[in-house]
Structure 1
Amino acid sequence: MAAANSQTFHLFPYLPPELRAMTWRASLPENDPPAIAPYQGGSWNHSPVPATSIHSMEWEYHFNLGVTRVKIPLTSVNHEARDVAITWAHKRGIEVIFNEVTGCNIYIRRHDPVRDIIWFGEGAFQSFARQCLDMQMASGQNAIIPVPIQIGQFAIPKNTLTDRWFMRSLRAAMHSFCGDVLVWIIADEHPSFHTNTNHEKAPPRWEVGATHEGESIFWDGLTGRLEVGGGAQILNDHSYERLIEAGHAIAERLAATTHGVTHFGLQAAYAVRL
Structure 2
Amino acid sequence: MPKQPKFQLHEARTYRSFLLIRPDDPDLPALTMLREVLKVLQAGRGNFSPRRESFPDTQVGDLIFEIIAECNTLMGLTDAAVQCITQQIENWDYDKDMIRWEQFVEGMVLIDYSLPAELRIQIWHGALPEKDSPALIFFKKGCWRRRRLSETEQGYDPTDPSHPHFYFDPELLDHVEVNVPLFFVNREARRIALAWCHEQGISLRSSRNQQSLIFSRPFNSKHDVLYVPLDQWDGFLCEPYDQMFTPEWTGQSVSTYALELGFIAVPEAQVYSNPAVLHEMFEWPYRPAVLYVVLDSPPDLRLEYAGQNVQRRWEVRTCQGGSLFYTWKDGHGSFEEGASERSGHEVLYELIKEVSKGLGEGITLHNVRSFEVRPVCAVRYEGSTSSIL
Same fold (TM over 0.5): yes
- The question of 1:115 aligning with 2:214 is answered no
Q: RMSD of aligned C-alpha atoms?
A: 4.0
Aligned to 1:233: 343
Aligned pair partner of 2:187 in 79, 87, 92: 79
Q: Distance in 2 between matches of 1:117 and 1:162?
A: 21
C-alpha deviations, 1:100-131, integer Å up to 9, x for none?
A: 96854320112234421111111422332334
C-alpha deviations, 1:53-108, integer Å up to 9, x for none?
A: 96234335234321210011211222111211111112222111255968543201
Percent same amino acid among aligned pairs?
A: 22
For residues 100 and 244 of structure 1, do their structure 2 counterparts lie closer, same or farther at Cα, with a shift above 3 Å needed?
closer
Letter in structure 2 aligned against 1:189: S
Q: Secondary structure at the match of 1:263?
A: coil
Q: Distance in 2 between matches of 1:197 and 1:104?
A: 9
The aligned length equals 264
> Is the CA contact (8 Å cut-off) linking 1:69 and 1:109 kept in structure 2?
yes
Aligned pair partner of 2:292 in 184, 194, 197: 184
* Bigger relative contact order, structure 1 or 2 (CA pairs below 8 A, ≥6 apart): 1
For residues 60 and 15 of structure 1, do their structure 2 counterparts lie closer, same or farther at Cα, with a shift above 3 Å needed?
farther
Letter in structure 2 aligned against 1:198: Q
Aligned to 1:88: 196
C-alpha deviations, 1:136-193, integer Å up to 9, x for none?
A: 9999995553522121111111111122x441x4323214344x61111111234211
Letter in structure 2 aligned against 1:89: C
Aligned to 2:255: 145
Q: Secondary structure at the match of 1:112?
A: coil
Letter in structure 1 aligned against 2:302: S
State the TM-score, normalizing by the size of structure 1.
0.76
For residues 22 and 47 of structure 1, do their structure 2 counterparts lie closer, same or farther at Cα, with a shift above 3 Å needed?
farther
Write out aligned runs for 1:193-212 (5 A). 193-194=303-304, 198=308, 202-210=310-318, 212=319
> Is the CA contact (8 Å cut-off) linking 2:205 and 2:307 kept in structure 1?
no
Q: CA deviation at 1:29?
A: 2.0
> Is the CA contact (8 Å cut-off) linking 2:111 and 2:120 kept in structure 1?
no
Aligned pair partner of 2:164 in 45, 58, 66: 58
> Is the CA contact (8 Å cut-off) linking 1:74 and 1:82 kept in structure 2?
yes
Q: Distance in 1 between matches of 2:167 and 2:279?
A: 21
Q: CA deviation at 1:30?
A: 2.4
Letter in structure 2 aligned against 1:156: V
Aligned pair partner of 2:373 in 263, 266, 274: 266
Aligned to 1:23: 123
Q: Distance in 1 between matches of 2:297 and 2:135?
A: 16
- The question of 1:124 aligning with 2:232 is answered yes
Aligned to 2:142: 43
Q: CA deviation at 1:260?
A: 3.0
Q: Secondary structure at the match of 2:121?
A: helix
Q: Distance in 2 between matches of 1:215 and 1:166?
A: 20
For residues 24 and 47 of structure 1, do their structure 2 counterparts lie closer, same or farther at Cα, with a shift above 3 Å needed?
farther
For residues 193 and 269 of structure 1, do their structure 2 counterparts lie closer, same or farther at Cα, with a shift above 3 Å needed?
same
Unmatched runs of 5 consecutive residues or more in structure 1: none
Q: Distance in 1 between matches of 2:380 and 2:342?
A: 20
- Determine which structure has the larger strand proportion and give its number: 1
- The question of 1:160 aligning with 2:270 is answered yes
Q: Secondary structure at the match of 2:303?
A: coil
> Is the CA contact (8 Å cut-off) linking 2:325 and 2:337 kept in structure 1?
yes
